[in-house]
């Protein structure tokens, strides 16, 4: 059942909107929607605008926050986040340190599947936005910390870094990881990737690096072919303690 203040997804025939249930009206190009009427609804229920346009109420998933959440910059793509999850074996028993929070998109993905996440962001304004997005995702197992991850303490099963990597970041991640734990770094440029690789190799027993590639197929009346959009996004280094 939808509660006041809950973020929901409204899906129409060729439109979708991220809306907060509660007081007031939400304006669309198909008419106004009463936010108050959303309270008490269940996923799958229908609602109409004052002009009669139908929408379906859904609870958002992590993918919807990637598309609709307010951003402080370019977040990691879902395929890159998925690579981190797959190659670290991230699961419901894990405690994860995430650094370079940005808008909080990766932290939201992680928070949906692990026991607890601490996510570090050095820029206070980014940390505030991430906190808002994470609370909208209704995650109480993700803590946003407005500080440098080099100040972090504790023990973690996975450390994920999406920031400008220095050897100090890799060395501190190693000190925070439990035996058998994983470090994952996302780096957009080869120069940063080499820093991660060179710092991790002497410390970790197993180090691998992957280029992140994805090509979507486009289909039209003329035929089917790979999309012409850029396929490369970055590099992910996975190192096991």
7-58: CATH number: 3.10.330.20
What was the pLDDT predicted at 80? 96
Strands 116-120 and 95-99 turn out to be parallel
Phi-psi map region of 138: left, alpha, beta (phi>0 left; psi -120 to 50 alpha)? left
Decide if 2 contacts 39 (C-beta within 8 A): yes
Cα 113 from chain centre: 12
**pLDDT digits over 8-31, tens only?**
999 998 889 999 899 999 998 889
Collapsing DSSP states into helix, strand and coil, what is residue 198? helix
**pLDDT digits over 154-193, tens only?**
999 999 999 999 999 999 999 999 999 999 999 999 999 9
pLDDT over 70 percentage in the chain:
100
- Which whole-number Å values give the CA distances from 210 to 85, 188, 226, in the listed order? 13, 12, 21
**pLDDT digits over 102-140, tens only?**
999 999 999 999 999 999 999 999 999 999 999 999 999
Q: At what angle do helices 190-200 and 167-176 cross, to 10 degrees?
A: 40
What was the pLDDT predicted at 54? 93
Q: Does the domain made of 72-240 have the CATH classification 3.40.50.150? A: yes
**pLDDT digits over 190-216, tens only?**
999 999 999 999 999 999 999 999 889
Collapsing DSSP states into helix, strand and coil, what is residue 167? helix
pLDDT-derived band at 73 (thresholds 50, 70, 90) equals: confident
Per-domain boundaries in the chain: 7-58, 72-240
What was the pLDDT predicted at 15? 87
What is the token pair recorded at 147? 């500080």
Q: Which residues share a beta bridge with 180?
A: none
Cβ atoms within 10 A of the Cβ of 197, count? 20
Dihedral Cα 54, 56, 60, 66, nearest 10 deg? -40
**pLDDT digits over 134-144, tens only?**
999 999 999 99
């Amino acid at each position: 059942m939808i509660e006041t203040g809950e973020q929901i997804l409204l899906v129409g025939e060729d439109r979708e909107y991220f809306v907060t249930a509660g007081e007031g009206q939400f304006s669309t190009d198909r008419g106004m929607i009463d936010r108050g009427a959303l309270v008490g609804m269940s996923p799958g229920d229908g609602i109409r605008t004052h002009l009669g346009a139908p929408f379906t109420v859904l609870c958002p998933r992590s993918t919807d926050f990637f598309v609709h959440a307010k951003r402080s910059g370019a977040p990691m793509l879902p395929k890159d986040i998925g690579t981190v999850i797959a190659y670290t074996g991230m699961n419901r028993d894990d405690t994860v340190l995430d650094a370079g929070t940005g808008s909080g998109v990766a932290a939201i993905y992680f928070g949906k599947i692990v026991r607890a996440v601490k996510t570090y962001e050095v820029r206070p304004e980014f940390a505030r936005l991430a906190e808002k997005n994470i609370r909208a995702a209704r995650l109480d197992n993700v803590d946003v910390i407005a500080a440098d991850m080099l100040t972090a303490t504790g023990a973690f099963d996975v450390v994920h870094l999406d920031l400008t990597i220095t050897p100090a970041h890799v060395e501190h991640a190693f000190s925070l990881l439990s035996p058998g734990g994983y470090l994952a770094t996302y780096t957009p440029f080869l120069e940063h990737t080499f820093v991660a690789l060179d710092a991790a190799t002497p410390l970790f027993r197993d180090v691998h690096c992957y280029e992140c590639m994805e090509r979507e197929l486009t289909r039209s009346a003329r035929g089917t072919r790979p999309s012409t959009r850029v396929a490369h996004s970055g590099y992910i280094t996975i190192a096991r303690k």
